[in-house]
Amino acid sequence: MIQTMSVSHSGQIQIGKSIEAMLSEKDKWYWIDFHAPTEEEVELLQTPLRFHPLSIEDCTHTLQRPKLDYYDDYHFFIFQNLNPGVVQGEEIDVFLGPNYIVTYHNNHSSEVAEVWKRLEQANTTREWNPSTVLYHVLDKIVDNFFPHVDRIEDLLNEIDENTAERSTEELLNDLFDTRHQLLSLRHTITPMRDLVYRMINSHHLSGVLERKEYFADIHDHLLRLAEKVEASRELTTDIRDSYLSMNSHETNRVMKVLTVITTIFMPLTFIAGVYGMNFENMPELSWEFGYFGALTAMFTIGITMFLLFRKKGWFK
């Protein structure tokens, strides 16, 4: 699907003009949005828009790393946004020229839709131009990163506090899933941060230089997001190590108790083994109180060792 919007020199907005009409009528500037285009619609990027085959190839081969390419009469951007439902990167491609902007995305982009609606309902287009559209789309993309990062931080707090008293196995499973989500966020946010830094320090992007402070604010947001992601990754490592240490400590405690119990029964087993041999010349076998004497000795040894080990705190 292709949407078009053109702004005349008088500031009037026209929706739905054909691409050929916009190119021939020499409007002040125009915006073309490609949403999940067909093969025939993709051909329009080459004719009549005349974009470079390499940039067209980047559009059709997803998912590309965020980047910026300079061409003779336009600049090509690859951005990544996040799917609202899951932490998964989706690509938004932008062709930026002196009097036009072309957006390309295979999935629905709420960022593009919001900016499109905002421009369509604007009272005046005096402050709008292709670079302004680029700024607002990029700003929406970055703002939509925050809910994902904040949600993961809340989830990590729940795992750390464990108020629901869930088992260690369940907590570790959630923790590893969270680490996977953080890795996806890191693979999206870090390249976007580097891209915006390159944009605000480039002398080729005159429209960006005119609004440098606005794009610098987006870069600051990305820096904060990157720091939050790294802090969350470190927290997951600390929580994982804590749970593994607790689990190891509990295992060692159980093994210690079992070892103490085994130690108590060792002399008792020895006594039972000796008098279970039933040799004829064992005087204790013919003793009237031999059976009760053996039980008394075994009981005394067991109780003595139990009290001794408990005093040393080995049953704690």
- Topology agreement, domain 1-126 and domain 249-311: no
The CATH topology of domain 249-311 is Methane Monooxygenase Hydroxylase; Chain G, domain 1 (1.20.58)
Q: Kindly tell me if the per-residue pLDDT of 163 is higher than 80.
A: no
The domain segmentation of the chain, as residue ranges, is: 1-126, 249-311
- The CATH architecture of the domain made up of 1-126 is 2-Layer Sandwich (3.30)
Other beta carbons within 10 Å of 192: 26
- Here the tokens at position 61 are 């081969």
pLDDT at residue 279 above 90? no
Mind listing the pLDDT tens digit for each residue in 30-59? 999 999 999 999 999 988 888 999 999 999
pLDDT band at 243 (very low <50, low <70, confident <90, very high): confident
Q: What is the mean pLDDT of residues 219-228?
A: 94
Average pLDDT rounded to a whole number, residues 222-230: 93
Residue-wise pLDDT for 86-111, tens only, equals 777 889 999 999 999 999 999 888 89
pLDDT tens for 126-153 read: 889 999 999 999 999 999 999 989 988 8
* 192: nearest Cα among 69, 96, 79, 104: 79
